[in-house]
Amino acid sequence: MKKQEITTKNSINHTKSIKNLDNLKKNDINYKKSLGQNFIYDTNLLNAIVSDADIHDDDVVLEIGAGAGTLTSILASRASRVISFEIDRSLSEILNDVKNRHANVEFYFQDFMECDIDELPFERAKVVANIPYYITTPIVFKLIDKIEKFDMIMLLVQKEVAERFASSNGSKEYGITSVILQSLFDVKITRVVRKEAFTPMPKIDSAVVKMVPHKKYNITNFDEFRAFIHQSFSMRRKTLVNNLKSKYDKEIILNSLKSLNLNENIRPEQISVKEYVLLFDMLKN
Ligand code: SAM
């Protein structure tokens, strides 16, 4: 893995960093829409986001998409170490300046999707990132494949995506991603971030979603569980029984629903995460 070697000055000067942020905003950064470059320069907002993350001075933080390093700087002033990925090498001069002010930051100028998380220099970390929205789902699934490495994952994503992550059964946003994420994490939206807070301004608002791993369920084969959830939601307008009957015995599905006190005409979006886990256990045996 290639890592940018940058000389370091061991000094953290917050006043200076705020001045630099002001200058940065005036600077004509060539924002690349194709890389999801919508940056945040508002120090108060960034501080509030990092407070939601509850970062301690012994935490290692993984950031995906450093941008101009505004969030990185604040993370670095609270964490023991920040490992930050940025695919756009044209930002390296700005980020070198961040590195000069914060010796505990390491930038990896490469595609996060190509890194091997097991090779990163930490045993466990917290993820805090304003991620590029065009690869939200791949990033989330890459992280959850290594869930044992993360104490917490906090991402700034499009508001409607955050709502899908956090919604409960019965709501129209509830679906495959809600069940899969909530079977592993307590998922909570900590704040909405208006589109005006970004430079350049995107079309829609965003939200910060905080995911803390829980051990509520013992799902023995997670890949099979994921496939089961995809099958359950294959046709949203159909009943669960109709969606599952090509893969499982209809009688067994009906008996399992009955033992969970669920109606045989129940639709996929009406079933809770816990009920899905129980149903999966019954059907796979
Ligand atoms: N953290 C900064 C902030 O809050 O202002 C920037 C956030 S911006 C939404 C996302 C950043 O991710 C961009 O700087 C973009 O260049 C970078 N990026 C896009 N695709 C990436 C990838 N595959 N790996 C690493 N960084 C990526």
Indicate which atom in ligand 1 lies nearest the CA of residue 67: 14
pLDDT of residue 284: 86
> Residues 261-279: what's their mean pLDDT?
97
Return the CATH architecture of domain 222-284.
Orthogonal Bundle (1.10)
Contacts (Cβ under 8 Å, ≥6 apart) of 245: 253
Indicate which atom in ligand 1 lies nearest the CA of residue 66: 1
pLDDT of residue 12: 32
State the span(s) of the chain assigned CATH 3.40.50.150: 3-213
pLDDT of residue 28: 62
Which tokens hold the place of 185?
Answer: 């994490």
Which tokens hold the place of 264?
Answer: 């045989």
Question: Cα(180) to centroid of ligand 1, in Å?
Answer: 25
State the span(s) of the chain assigned CATH 1.10.8.100: 222-284
Contacts (Cβ under 8 Å, ≥6 apart) of 281: none
Task: Tell me: pLDDT of 1 over 90.
Answer: no
Specify the higher pLDDT residue, 10 or 138: 138
Percentage of the chain beyond pLDDT 70 is 90
Q: Could you tell me which of 215, 216, 219 has the C-alpha nearest to residue 281?
A: 219
Rounded Cα distance, 92 and 285, in Å: 54
Residues with CB under 6 A from ligand 1: 35-40, 64-68, 70-71, 85-88, 111-113, 130, 132, 135
Q: pLDDT, tens digit, for every residue of 76-112?
A: 999 999 999 999 999 999 999 999 999 999 999 999 9
> Residues 61-70: what's their mean pLDDT?
97
Task: Tell me: pLDDT of 23 over 80.
Answer: no
DSSP code of residue 114: G
Region of 128 on the Ramachandran plot (φ > 0 left; ψ -120 to 50 alpha; else beta): beta
Mean pLDDT of the chain: 91
pLDDT of residue 236: 81
Contacts (Cβ under 8 Å, ≥6 apart) of 70: 21, 24, 39, 40, 41, 43, 46
**In CATH, what number does 3-213 get?**
3.40.50.150
